Amino acid sequence: MKPKVQIYAGPGTLSLAAARLVARCAATAVRDRGRFVWMISGGATPLAMFDRLASPSAPDVPWRQTEIYWADERAVPADDVLSNFNSAHAHLLSKVPVAPTSVHRIKAEQGAAAASEDYRRELVTLAQAQGRGQSQPPVFDLILLGVGRDGHTASLFPSAAALDEDDWVLSVKAPAGVVPQQRVSIGLSVLNNARCVAFLVAGADKHAVVRSIVLDPVQSAQNLPAARAHGGEKTIWLIDRASGGAATGSSFGCCR
């Protein structure tokens, strides 16, 4: 399935578009199933979108019917500045009425292996609540992902064994130089079971990887993990001009 690409002039319009996508997905999910089951990523790109969603002018999101999960987490305490939970809590979760029991953080301070098993049990509980069969992964309404310059997404890095495993949750050691190295990541079997996968990408440093993935997803899937993640109903790339407009604007969408 060809990804849909939407190109935005800059960080402001990009984060607004992403916030509106979350609101639309949430409204549809609550209308159809009574809950919005959302998985978010770490990194810096989503923070402007979180701020938008927490602002007084935010699009309506049914926070009291929202369940929040993470695509990955670093093996650090929850209050560590490197924690993906800490970032989302500071920019969004501390400002909107999501029930504490609906915030399913990866307890990576336990160490990656123990945290992976603990989180896998959370996903089994979710799958059971959704009436899924024993080995069927849970279905997320929206999984929001970023992409690294090397094509990683969540904490699935190129040429990692994790890419070919069916495990729902993986204990991962990131490549040398990536700090922190010990992480917990969702696996492709869960990512690709989502209704919608949305990539949020900004910055000229992502231009090369976005161009590769969007213009040649099949070839890119050989070695770029982000090219292997796609939603069951749709896959959307929300990018800014710096990260891909010139390369993909003529082929997809238009600049908003």
- Which stretches of the chain bind ligand 6PG, using CB under 6 A? 41-45, 71-72, 84, 146-148, 152-155
Pairing state between β 4-8 and 36-40: unpaired
Q: How far is the CB of 155 from ligand 6PG (least distance, A)?
A: 6
Q: How far is the CB of 152 from ligand 6PG (least distance, A)?
A: 6
Q: Closer to ligand 6PG at the Cβ: 35 or 41?
A: 41
Q: How far is the CB of 116 from ligand 6PG (least distance, A)?
A: 15
Q: Closer to ligand 6PG at the Cβ: 42 or 217?
A: 42
Q: Closer to ligand 6PG at the Cβ: 42 or 137?
A: 42
- CA 246, CA 224: separation in Å to the nearest integer? 21
Place of tokens 């809950």: 35
Q: How far is the CB of 18 from ligand 6PG (least distance, A)?
A: 12
Q: Which residues are within 8 A (CB) of 243 and not within 5 positions of it... i.e. 6 or more apart?
A: 201, 202, 203, 204, 205, 206, 207, 210
Q: Closer to ligand 6PG at the Cβ: 25 or 75?
A: 75
Q: Closer to ligand 6PG at the Cβ: 36 or 70?
A: 70
Q: How far is the CB of 89 from ligand 6PG (least distance, A)?
A: 15
- CA 14, CA 168: separation in Å to the nearest integer? 30
Place of tokens 């399913």: 104
| Amino acid sitting at position 216 | D
Place of tokens 């002039």: 9
> Strand ranges (DSSP E) for the chain?
4-8, 36-40, 66-70, 72-74, 103-104, 142-145, 169-173, 182-186, 196-201, 234-240
